[in-house]
Structure 1
Amino acid sequence: MELHQLKQFVAAAESESFTRGAERAFVSQPALSASISKLEDEMGTQLFIRNKRSVVLTPAGRKLLKRAKLIIAECAQAKAELKHHEVQRSLRLGVINTLAIGQVAKLIEQYRRENPEVLLDVTDASQDQIEKLQKEARIDFALTRLVQGKEKKGRQEVLFSEPYVVALPLGHHLSGRKEVSFSELAEEPFIARTHCESRALIGELLKEKGVRLNVVYKTNQDDRAISLVEVGVGIAIIPQHYASTSIAKISLADLKAERQIGFEWTGESNKEEIEKFVDFSKTVPWAH
């Protein structure tokens, strides 16, 4: 028994005619008659009482009609659900990897909880990698460092701005200061964040001041850098929003530039979903 047989059976039953049923099912009358005869053979019982002008369902035919309608309706529902699944709302987000993972996780978790119908696909990457993902159209938008003065097609939405600060272990001899210069850091064991997007700028400033930092550890993972500071391995220059109860953060006298963090996207693709996510993100606080 196949679905097209049931559909032709229902068409004939409701039309009380093989001719009208065939027209309704968009098949020839001989094809419909053959299909129903095959169905009767499979069922092992007669479904119609045939005469010259019309056909009438037998008791067995009436029972099958009820079941056939249910089966056809269920198949139509399944098809509709699968079609909806194929066009499920989705977002592809790139996130710069110099954002505190706790804050990013909080944003993603809250969004997913309040928008379960949206498939959110997140990619963690460096700023250079995010730009590549954007050019290759592998993400819809990015939560990243916004570069001022750089020609960009599309839109930018600032989420927050922050300076870079010096992270010190609690009890460090400089931890009580409000501000510190590069020259005062020269002798301190230093943890270098190799993926920092302002690394080149900091390098130029150090060169201008004639300061060479005492690098004892290099890492491209911020959670490691923070942990190393916490246990006293060294100090580090980090974005201000990183939070830890085991470190002190003080300003850098020689580095006044702030970075802007926000959303960046191009084109009109998925524009409505992107704007909804951006608006939602503004309701989630970022620690400073």
Structure 2
Amino acid sequence: MEIRQIRYFLAVQESGSFTKAAEKMFVTQPALSAAVKSLEEELGVSLLRRSHKRVTLTPAGLRFRDRAFAILAECSAAKSELMNEQDQKQLRIGVLDTLNTPPINQLLHEFHTTYPEILIHLHSGSKDELANKLGQNKVDMLLTSFADEVSSETTLPLYQERFQLMVSRQHPLANRASVRLADLHGLPFVLRKNCEVLNEGKRVFLAEQAQPHITCRTDNDSWALTMVRNNLAAAILAETVIEEGTVSIPIVDFGLVRTVGCLWRNHCDQETVPVFTAFAAQNSWRGLARIS
């Protein structure tokens, strides 16, 4: 079954004549008649009653007419959707798994509000996964973290944030204004395997001779937050991470911070990347260590 056959059939039923339908569709009458006949043979039914006065629909043709209109409508909608998507400006952003935080969510929301004509595709993953996607041109840019403040033609540092202890409001340390790593010794603890400062964090723990009791190892921050919220363990997360029913406490002898920013490829030809980075550079990072 071909679209042209359906169009020819509908033209015939509308005009009541193969000749008039052929004129309307700018084809020869024999070609149109052959196409409709082929459609009937494929369907195994007669769709039209042919007479010298007027061509009319058979009961099967009457039922097929509604289907034919629906098929053409779907084809038209699909074509329109694809054309609109092709014409629409797009931006593929790789977002680090651990950056599902209010500042980044607010940035994405405000950018979409300001530039609704740009279609955003988000891809989440670890640092290695995102680096591979950027290198393979599967994303146009990254929202990621850097171990230190960086400066290059393809990076835009946005802000810095500390790592803090997150515990349930029922946790024994919940009312403390600050803690030391030694306070975590022997306490249930979630080890976040996707944490950007995992190795450095382990080194600091060893240096301070603090050995929390690791009861959960996970590469999914949602599970880590669930453990904390249910008072099953504590975790160390970036200060902008928010979870209902928990509190974040500064750690006085844990000075690790992360720099959050944008990263893109050299000679990036996606015109929406500089639009996004310029917008991000002007965004207000209230309460955070803004990098200018």
Band of TM-score, shorter chain: 0.5 to 0.7
User: Take 1:165 and 1:128, find their aligned partners in 2: how far apart are those partners?
Assistant: 24
Q: Which is further off, 172-181 or 128-137?
A: 172-181
* Letter of the 2:267 counterpart: E
User: Take 1:40 and 1:244, find their aligned partners in 2: how far apart are those partners?
Assistant: 67
Distance 1:257 1:84, change over 3 A: same
Aligned residues: 216
User: Take 2:187 and 2:247, find their aligned partners in 1: how far apart are those partners?
Assistant: 15
> Is residue 128 from structure 1 mapped to residue 137 from structure 2 by the alignment?
no
Q: Corresponding residue for 1:95?
A: 95
Contiguous gaps of at least 5 residues in structure 1 = 3-35, 43-78
1:243·1:287 contact (CA, 8 Å) conserved in 2?
Answer: no
Q: Which runs of 4+ in 1 moved over 6 A?
A: 79-84
Q: Corresponding residue for 1:265?
A: 264
Distance 1:146 1:41, change over 3 A: closer
Displacement of 1:175 in angstroms is 2.2
Q: Corresponding residue for 1:137?
A: 137
1:229·1:236 contact (CA, 8 Å) conserved in 2?
Answer: yes
Q: Which has the larger radius of gyration?
A: 1
User: TM-score w.r.t. structure 2 length?
Assistant: 0.64
Distance 1:268 1:80, change over 3 A: farther
Q: Deviations over 1:134-179 (max 9, x none)?
A: 22222111000024388x8742112211010001111433223232
> Is residue 235 from structure 1 mapped to residue 245 from structure 2 by the alignment?
no
User: Take 2:112 and 2:149, find their aligned partners in 1: how far apart are those partners?
Assistant: 34
For 1:204, what is the secondary structure of its paired residue? helix
Q: Corresponding residue for 2:117?
A: 117
User: Take 2:226 and 2:248, find their aligned partners in 1: how far apart are those partners?
Assistant: 14
Q: Deviations over 1:37-93 (max 9, x none)?
A: xx6975xxxxxxxxxxxxxxxxxxxxxxxxxxxxxxxxxxxx999777534321111
Q: Corresponding residue for 2:56?
A: none
User: Take 1:142 and 1:83, find their aligned partners in 2: how far apart are those partners?
Assistant: 27
Distance 1:214 1:276, change over 3 A: same
2:162·2:256 contact (CA, 8 Å) conserved in 1?
Answer: yes
> Is residue 279 from structure 1 mapped to residue 262 from structure 2 by the alignment?
no
Distance 1:286 1:242, change over 3 A: farther
Percent identical residues: 21
1:154·1:266 contact (CA, 8 Å) conserved in 2?
Answer: no
Contiguous gaps of at least 5 residues in structure 2 = 5-22, 30-78
For 1:269, what is the secondary structure of its paired residue? coil
* Letter of the 2:141 counterpart: F
* Letter of the 2:135 counterpart: K
Say what the alpha-carbon RMSD is for the aligned residues.
3.2
Displacement of 1:210 in angstroms is 2.7
